[in-house]
Chains A and B, each alone.
Chain A
Amino acid sequence: EVQLVQSGAEVKKPGESLKISCKGSGYSFTSYWIGWVRQMPGKGLEWMGIIYPGDSDTRYSPSFQGQVTISADKSISTAYLQWSSLKASDTAMYYCAADYGGAFDIWGQGTMVTVSS
């Protein structure tokens, strides 16, 4: 079964760092783009950026450039989204999604990140 499994919910304080993960299985992880999507509470979907695990080619949405870092470790079929200094406004659900069979057809279950003092 082709799937993406994300790491569990996180509760952090402002200023802390965080790295969440998205592990692919059931397909050739290095051959398909993986994107990250933010959904703030009660709001719509926001595109953050995308990575090609085969060569780590990474592209960011202008809104998220410099705010987060997207990376991948192809040896363990895992993509990452990380922050160096969290803010309360980073509180959101974060999804990874793979462009496998047309558009982004494989989605992770989401990782809820809560940033609160």
Chain B
Amino acid sequence: EIVLTQSPGTLSLSPGERATLSCRASQSVSSSYLAWYQQKPGQAPRLLIYGASSRATGIPDRFSGSGSGTDFTLTISRLEPEDFAVYYCQQYGSSPSFGGGTKVEIK
């Protein structure tokens, strides 16, 4: 089973700043099967990025994904107030798994 480790656990930033979230896999993940989700309190997760770098429908272009192999990154270029949330990476190959999450909080 592939273990995904996200860092940092919490990111304290101000609106307008850039957020860089990391997801590291215990073994190589096909880039076709790496996704990022956003979850706000009391809501279901929302898909942001799939295939490591493709934005899902309706996702603003301030969200971008990159990486390959075992190291992946989600970047939010300029934080908007609605972006403060928890973010999860997921590999969705033959035996999917989630990372532990990164909370992006207001500084």
Contacts and interface: CB of A to CB of B under 8 A. Distances in A.
B45 A95 contact: yes
- Contact-residue bracket for chain B: 20 to 34
Interface stretch (A44-52, A72-80, A83-91): A44-52
Contacts of B51: 102-103
B35 A104 contact: yes
A35 B98 contact: no
Interface stretch (B13-21, B71-79, B87-95): B87-95
A41 interface: no
Contacts of A59: 94-95
B35 A47 contact: no
Given A107-B46, A108-B44, A62 B96 contact: no
Contacts of A105: 47, 50, 56-57
B57 to A, nearest CB: 7
B90 A103 contact: yes
A101 interface: yes
A109 B88 CA distance: 18
Interface residues of A, number: 22
A110 B54 CA distance: 26
B96 A50 contact: yes
A110 B88 contact: no
A61 B44 contact: no
B97 interface: yes
B1 A101 contact: no
Contacts of A97: 45
25 contacts: A37-B98, A44-B101, A45-B45, A45-B90, A45-B98, A46-B98, A50-B96, A59-B94, A61-B1, A61-B95, A62-B1, A95-B45, A99-B92, A102-B50, A102-B51, A102-B54, A102-B56, A103-B51, A103-B90, A104-B47, A105-B47, A105-B50, A105-B56, A107-B45, A110-B44
Interface of A: 35, 37, 44-47, 50, 59, 61-62, 95, 97, 99, 101-105, 107-110
Task: Return the 6 tightest CB-CB contacts between A and B, nearest first.
Answer: A103-B50, A103-B35, A102-B50, A107-B44, A105-B47, A45-B98
